[in-house]
A and B are shown apart, each in its own frame.
Chain A
Amino acid sequence: MARTSWSRYSNRSFYLFVSPWVLGFLLLTVVPLGYAFGMSLTNFDGSSPRWRWVGIRNYTELFGDSEAWHALLRTIAYTAIAVPLSVAAALGLAVLLNRRLKALGLWRTIFFLPSVVPVVAMAIMWKLVLNRDAGIANALLHVVGIKPIVWLIDPMAFYALIILTLWGLGGGMVIMLAALQGVPAELEEAAVVDGAGRWRVFRHITVPMISPVIFFQVVTGVIATFQIVVQPLLLAETNSIAGVGQVPRSTHLYMVQVYQEFFTSNRFGYGSAMLWVFFLVILAFTLLIQRSSRLWVHYEVDTESDR
């Protein structure tokens, strides 16, 4: 195409259009992160003007802080259980729905619905369901002869949190369902003609075909689960930021610990150091998963290029 000196594009108009996000990103993401790094080098307590620089002391203290280590390991354990479980459950549900069903739309709505429930309402609902004396969960367990379970304190609070996470898997299910419907039927048919059983077709054709979607679910799931703080806070008896210290041990995840440093101990500097370390940990995990993806994610030839 012959192009004269005239061009319909100019840097000016491009940057004019994307400026809201560029400015927002700089002012509301980069600046706060930088500010947090600055704070992490001080002993700032959130209010008093008499703070001073302490260098990397917060970071060195953090490495010897067993509370923080426990919270981090607990978070990793929670993520390692909750993410595979909810990705697998979402896939299972999608497989169940990926067939000729009566009222498919209704089923999909039912499973999708909880994922739009605000976290506050979610916590209130599940506290009612899991209430030790008055909850329906224990009432049903009683019918089959199981003694009441104290769901919302240690050690069961951990599982209550997992139940809460699983209940909201509808978004993942919808994505998996769309991915399953994108798997070419001829491929699966050919395998069946060749004598492969259904499980083998699923294991060796369907799953590899949708593995990029599964991968995406795992990555976003890990990042989202790492930063969970509101759910443990609201499931606890004293459900407010001020009561963050009373979150049960088993759901005392890393971000809960950060909030506790900020708002119970008033250690804004130390809390900021925790934030930065966590930022790096999440980054490392994301890269690790990304690296491992080459081993198990099946990508087709770049589809972008044939547009």
Chain B
Amino acid sequence: MHDRRTASAAVHRLPLVKLRLSAGAIYVLLMALAVLFVGPFVWLLLAALKTRDEWAAVPTHILPRQAQWGNFVHALTDINFPAYAVNSLFLSTMYAVLVTASSAAVGFGFARLRGSGKRGLFLVLLSTMMLPQILTLLPTYVLFSKLGLVNTYWPWVLWGFAASPYLIFLFRQFFAAIPRELEDAAIIDGCGWTRIFLRIFLPLSRPVLITSFLLSFIWTWGDYIAPALLLDVDHTTLSVAITAWYRDPHGNAIPTVQAAAAALYVLPALLIFLFAQRHFVRSVVASGVKG
């Protein structure tokens, strides 16, 4: 079984399954698809560089006559963009640190330790990966408002401590593959599990730690519904702020400034993705192929 896997990985760049298309046709097809996938980004930037009149002009102007960089200034000043960005950054970082730490510990427990009821617990864990989170969010919101946790960042602290099934699974897969000899030596030296985890396993899991941190950061950075429900105008995040608050004095939305704000908002997520793409690919594959 193992031989097959490794052998096929080596030989496999010889794809037999393909549509009967010439090489040229494939590149044309890919190019056309790429335009569909990249197009919205380009259109967002073009909109962000137009005047309002130009944006609304009929027939449609593709390119702005003169780039309106002022839209970005408006995006940053019409609403308190920096403050919301700080809120988003703070919330995302805090959640990412907490959830990564807790998920690593739980993943370690499921991978290396034994206890009664472990099998059953692990099945529950796997099925909560499937549980639609949106179902619990509304009653959680009602509960949190009764407990006075609305307009605080405590919900994210709690969610962080509670670990994420998806990340636990990633850590578990990684820790389970580490040879036993490593912990044997430490146990002979008299180390307890906590020290084995902190001193040996955690440092080894650096790539998973990075993946987990970046994934959970992007989740929180991009989350709309939880901050929209739980946080007020002063505490909320960029994702809520840029959605609806760019208005002229008549209350009409200003699409060009909103486009500029959206470009600024999406930039950190895209940069993280571009620099850490292999981490994302690995985590997606680990969860989707073996899951």
Q: Which residues of A contact B (CB under 8 A)?
A: 8-11, 13-18, 20-25, 27-29, 31-33, 35-36, 39, 46, 93, 95-102, 107-114, 116-121, 123-129, 131, 133-136, 138-139, 142, 167, 171-172, 174-175, 178-186, 188-189, 192, 198, 201-202, 206, 213, 216-217, 219-220, 223-224, 226-227, 229-230, 234, 239-241, 255, 258-259, 262, 268, 271-272, 275, 278-279, 282, 286, 303, 306
B209 within 8 Å of A (CB atoms): no
B-side binding surface: helix, strand, loop or mixed? helix
**Minimum Cβ distance to chain B for residue A199 (Å):** 9
Question: Given the complex, which residues of A lie within 8 Å of B41, measured CB to CB?
Answer: 125
A174 near B163 (CB under 8 angstroms)? Answer: no
From A271, which residue of chain B is reached at the shortest CB distance?
A: B138
Question: Given the complex, which residues of A lie within 8 Å of B270, measured CB to CB?
Answer: 113, 116-117
A136 near B34 (CB under 8 angstroms)? Answer: no
Question: Given the complex, which residues of A lie within 8 Å of B243, measured CB to CB?
Answer: 120, 123-124, 234, 239-240
A120 near B239 (CB under 8 angstroms)? Answer: yes
State whether A278 and B277 are in contact (beta carbons under 8 Å apart), knowing that A14-B109, A100-B13, A240-B228 are contacts in the complex: no
From B124, which residue of chain A is reached at the shortest CB distance?
A: A25
A-side binding surface: helix, strand, loop or mixed? helix
State whether A175 and B288 are in contact (beta carbons under 8 Å apart), knowing that A96-B30, A113-B37, A136-B43 are contacts in the complex: yes
Q: Which residues of B contact A (CB under 8 A)?
A: 1-2, 4-5, 7-9, 11-20, 26-27, 29-30, 33-34, 36-41, 43-44, 47, 55-60, 62, 102-103, 105-106, 108-110, 113-116, 118, 121, 124-125, 128, 130-136, 138-140, 142-143, 158-159, 161-163, 165, 168, 187, 192-193, 197, 218, 221-225, 228-229, 239-240, 242-244, 255, 258-259, 262, 265-266, 269-270, 272-274, 277, 280-281, 284-285, 288-289, 291
Q: What would 7 more interface pairs be, CB under 8 Å, given A20-B106, A131-B255? A: A110-B38, A174-B285, A184-B4, A184-B7, A202-B17, A227-B132, A234-B243
Question: Given the complex, which residues of B lie within 8 Å of A14, measured CB to CB?
Answer: 109, 113-115, 118
From B177, which residue of chain A is reached at the shortest CB distance?
A: A307
CA of A206 to CA of B17 in the docked complex: distance in angstroms?
8
Most buried by A among B60, B115, B125, B139: B139
